[in-house]
A and B are shown apart, each in its own frame.
Chain A
Amino acid sequence: MLEIKNLECSIGDTEILRGLSLSVNAGEVHAIMGPNGSGKSTLGQVIAGHSDYVVTKGTISYLGQNLFDLEPEERAREGIFLGFQYPVEIPGVNNTYLLKAAVNAKRKHQGLEEVDAFEFLKIAREKMALLGMDTKFLNRGVNEGFSGGEKKRNEILQMAMLEPRIAILDETDSGLDIDALKAVAAGVNALRASDRAIILVTHYQRLLNYIQPDFVHVLSEGKIVKSGDKSLAVRLEEKGYDWVNEGNIE
């Protein structure tokens, strides 16, 4: 589904990704772990199409097409979803309005009719119940005055409504208390499907107790230095990232 080869990218004069390769197939859940500054968030931003990140080398192919040929909104409509580490507050823009506009932008792209208001609300309410979100969030400004946990739940709600083919969740677990973490994990697990891939970008192993990954990768200095199954995450948690940097690479 997503094939990243030798990706190099910079922001300004700073080189961040230095030859990253990753292959993700439908139905798989990948966890990308790594210390601060290793390039975890950059990977998500590059896949989503942020223009501040300049790709200097390498390729990303998504469903057989060159991802770099697509604008961020086209990527979204083609089924790529990025759950932001720091979701943006947009004062005055109603949450329902955004959700509906997003769902309809995708439906239009697929040649489908716009979703009707009644059906939309019904689905939104179901998804919110799953995430333990109060429906009052529907009428608030997008992330406006939301707590950290509320923002992350709101990201998962957007993902649930958009039903992406591939979701990159950037530190979705950071700043969550245990109840919020469980709710978010339940939301993600509910979306696991044989035709969908999920990339979890995380600093800690904690989230992986609730969402079991098929693969764990360790990112360091802009490339993947180690890959394994979920036991890798446990070893990392015990030994710290220095363990990887100390040359224990197979």
Chain B
Amino acid sequence: MKSSSISMEDLKKAVGNLPNDSLSSTRNTALDGFLKFGLPTTKDEDWKYTDLSRISDISNRWLAEGAKQDIYDPSEETIKSLMNSIEANWLVIANGIIDTKYFNNDKSIDIKRYSETAAPFIHNRPLSYLNAALMKDGLKIYIRSSTIKPLGLLILDNTKANTSLSQVNIDIEVASDCKAEIIEYHHSIGKGDHYSNSVAAIKINKAASTYYTKIQDRQINHTQTTHTAIDLKKNSILNMACYDIGGGLIRNDIDINIDEPGVDASLNGLYLTGENQHIDNHIKVEHRVGPASSSQEFRGILNGSNCSVWNGKAIVHEGADGTDANQKNQNLLLSEKAEINTKPELIIYADDVKCSHGATVGQLDESAIFYLRTRGLSTKQATEIITQAFAADLVNRTPISQIKNTVSSLVASRLAKLIMDH
């Protein structure tokens, strides 16, 4: 059992020091929840390959230093340069503090803080409890009609102190019959150690369709966990793409719940890892009724001595006939020391289902490298071209061109760096 625990006394004190407001009782309930669980350890099946001692270490140091939160007010220039060409209506969460000044009033999107409405539902999970216990506030977003500009969530952290923690909590609902584009973009700078704990609940109502893009481009020394719970209602469509470009210790949990028929959920993902990085994606799709389809396709490019994780699960419950579920995970290992623990999982209790799953782990095709070299390309150039193509095949599937362009250039520069270390 690895990963030491978070100091409960210090945590209680930190929660107690937060302002006494309408969210206080939620924080205290969440604190009790967390005290009961503690941090997950590698003894827990779902956390077998991901050791959270880095999180307990950062958290304990941060708590001991007084659980202070630096205010970070990114300039418009910073935001523009970060966003490259992505045009969206941006809600900024900087060092855990919600900032709506870049958000233009938009008839199609209602936003309210939890403190103005109600506290969110808290999932029965240790990190969700930790998040809610320490959250200052959160955002309730209601997309009432099709988005004209995509809704952008820019989650930005700047760690000036030795350590910092930030909690992000977002609740999004997409109204029936509309089309929504949402971009969640995580970025961090700063010398200190940082842990960002982010929780999002998304409900997509009847016959609505949503393109959800999640980009994580944090610093290599920063840690992040995200939990995204998605509830899909009758005939709704979800297209989700997750790109992990940077980050140190990263754990993403995506839980998709299908309890009404006609749903179509498609998830794509790409993760790039090098030395000192660990990226863990856990996806779980619950098919409670049919007909409905879900597909998961993730690709990884791994270099250096790192050990990453992919777990894609589909549970087809009794009676969920007409379910079509498939999972695919492909990995390209650039170094002999890189490791991936990949596990596509199907658990089926229904009779009439169509399911498939597969995982591949391979090295660069040496014959392709030689072929390109005989055409005058250097080994580095050949490696870059082949890995880019492997990534681009997935990235190019996004129908939103500005996301395709931004992600492609992020991937290209990250790969160039990874291959330099190859």
User: Among the listed A71, A81, A84, A91, which residue makes an inter-chain contact with B389, where contact means beta carbons less than 8 Å apart?
Assistant: A91
- A121 to chain B minimum Cβ distance, whole angstroms, is 18
Q: Is A105 an interface residue (CB 8 A)?
A: yes
- A110 to chain B minimum Cβ distance, whole angstroms, is 11
Given contacts A88-B368, A93-B385, A97-B385, contact A73 B390 (CB under 8 A): no
Q: In the complex, are the beta carbons of A48 and B385 less than 8 A apart?
A: no
B377: chain A residues within 8 A (beta carbon): 73, 101-102, 105
Q: Could you tell me the distance between the alpha carbons of A219 and B365 in the complex, rounded to whole angstroms?
A: 31
Q: Is A149 an interface residue (CB 8 A)?
A: no
Q: Please list 13 pairs of residues, one from A and one from B, whose beta carbons are closer than 8 Å in the complex, sorted by A's number.
A: A49-B373, A50-B370, A72-B370, A77-B376, A90-B368, A90-B389, A91-B393, A92-B392, A93-B385, A98-B375, A98-B385, A141-B389, A162-B376
Contact with B along A133-166 (1 / 0, CB 8 A): 0000000010000000000000000100010000
B374: chain A residues within 8 A (beta carbon): 48-49, 72-73, 75-76, 81-82, 84
Q: Could you tell me the distance between the alpha carbons of A102 and B365 in the complex, rounded to whole angstroms?
A: 19
Given contacts A84-B371, A88-B368, contact A105 B376 (CB under 8 A): yes
Contact with A along B78-121 (1 / 0, CB 8 A): 00000000000000000000000000000000000000000000
Q: In the complex, are the beta carbons of B386 and A106 less than 8 A apart?
A: no
User: Among the listed B371, B373, B376, B389, which residue makes an inter-chain contact with A106, where contact means beta carbons less than 8 Å apart?
Assistant: B376
Q: Is B360 an interface residue (CB 8 A)?
A: no
Q: In the complex, are the beta carbons of B371 and A73 less than 8 A apart?
A: no
A105: chain B residues within 8 A (beta carbon): 375-378, 381
Q: How many residues of B contact A (CB 8 A)?
A: 20
Q: Is A192 an interface residue (CB 8 A)?
A: no
B172: chain A residues within 8 A (beta carbon): none
Shortest Cβ distance from A105 into B: residue? B376
B interface list, Cβ under 8 A from A: 365, 367-368, 370-379, 381, 385-386, 389-390, 392-393
A interface list, Cβ under 8 A from B: 48-51, 71-73, 75-77, 81-82, 84, 87-93, 97-98, 101-102, 105-106, 109, 141, 158, 162
Q: A48-B370, A72-B370 are in contact. List 20 more A-B contacts (CB 8 A).
A: A50-B370, A73-B376, A73-B378, A76-B376, A82-B374, A88-B371, A90-B368, A90-B372, A90-B385, A91-B389, A92-B392, A93-B385, A98-B375, A101-B381, A102-B375, A102-B376, A105-B375, A105-B378, A109-B376, A162-B376
Q: In the complex, are the beta carbons of B367 and A162 less than 8 A apart?
A: no
User: Among the listed A87, A92, A98, which residue makes an inter-chain contact with B393, where contact means beta carbons less than 8 Å apart?
Assistant: A92
3 residue pairs, one from A and one from B, having the closest CB atoms: A92-B389, A105-B376, A76-B376
- B380 to chain A minimum Cβ distance, whole angstroms, is 10
A51: chain B residues within 8 A (beta carbon): 370
A72: chain B residues within 8 A (beta carbon): 370, 373-374
Q: In the complex, are the beta carbons of B372 and A98 less than 8 A apart?
A: yes
- A108 to chain B minimum Cβ distance, whole angstroms, is 9
B378: chain A residues within 8 A (beta carbon): 73, 105
A76: chain B residues within 8 A (beta carbon): 373-376
Given contacts A84-B371, A101-B381, contact A90 B386 (CB under 8 A): yes
User: Among the listed B385, B386, B392, which residue makes an inter-chain contact with A101, where contact means beta carbons less than 8 Å apart?
Assistant: B385
Most buried by B among A48, A50, A92, A105: A92
- B137 to chain A minimum Cβ distance, whole angstroms, is 44
Q: Could you tell me the distance between the alpha carbons of A87 and B373 in the complex, rounded to whole angstroms?
A: 13
Q: Could you tell me the distance between the alpha carbons of A6 and B385 in the complex, rounded to whole angstroms?
A: 38
